[in-house]
Amino acid sequence: MLIPSIDLLGGRIVQLMQGEKLRLAFDDFEYWIEKFSKYPLVQLIDLDAAMRQGDNSALVEQIAKRLPCQAGGGIRTIERARQLLDAGARRVIIGSALFSAEGTVNTDFAAEMAESVGAEHVVAGIDTKYGRIAVKGWKVQVELTPDEAIPQLEPYVAAFLYTHVDTEGTMQGFPIETAARLRKLTEQQLIVAGGIRSQTEVDALDALGADAVVGMAVYTEMLAV
């Protein structure tokens, strides 16, 4: 399954390369909402909230009312998760809050989130740089790998969203062998992102049992939606 992404920064839809360099920006929300309305799931990320430099809460909630979204970016409390679900999001993506600076998995918080909002509404965001999990808007790495984290979070989530930051926004392709390895670690839905550039690649991931988040290739029309 192809999952289009909407990343928000400074009140605009943007595409960044490797989470840092701004490559594209759009103000025409109606165009993209209409374009993505045929998809069963859209990914909606508040980059300002993820980077701890403000937020786009009003925009997130407006879009979540109109598209079937899994929403993320800076969700650090159960209260905020509930706000997004109440606004219409189907699921919430929890990333940095699941990991400590010491390189441990915050399973207590994961369990509390699952109990409070329902595990079926929780997606664990596993973002990596050079093989290690990256947090706080991908600015900080912790001494933890996806292979270590996923089994610990398995009981508390409906899906794992793995973002390969090294290839994010580059349209250089996602490492298929990584998807194959991760697929063996969990029985939950596996969603991957980072450099996906063609329908052929989406199909190859689908054959492995992984869904594909696509951003740059959609916005540059390399991949038709």
Is pLDDT of 10 > 90?
yes
Per-residue model confidence as pLDDT tens digits over 61-70: 999 999 999 9
Q: Please tell me the number of Cα atoms within 13 Å of 17 on its side-chain side.
A: 7
CATH number of the domain residue 170 falls in: 3.20.20.70
C-alpha 176: how far from its chain's center? Answer: 18
What is the DSSP secondary-structure string of 72-130?
A: ESS--SHHHHHHHHHHT-SEEEE-GGGB-TTS-B-HHHHHHHHHHH-GGGEEEEEEEET
Per-residue model confidence as pLDDT tens digits over 117-167: 999 999 999 999 988 998 987 788 899 999 999 999 999 999 999 999 999
Q: 67 is in which domain, residue-wise? A: 2-220
Q: Is residue 225 part of a domain?
A: no
Per-residue model confidence as pLDDT tens digits over 154-163: 999 999 999 9
**pLDDT of the residue at 169:** 87
Is pLDDT of 85 > 90?
yes
Q: Is residue 44 part of a domain?
A: yes
Q: Is residue 191 part of a domain?
A: yes
Cα gap 207→127, rounded to integer Å: 22
Q: State both tokens at 31.
A: 């165009």
What's the structural domain count of the chain?
1
Q: What residues are annotated to the active site?
A: 7, 127
Q: Is residue 45 part of a domain?
A: yes
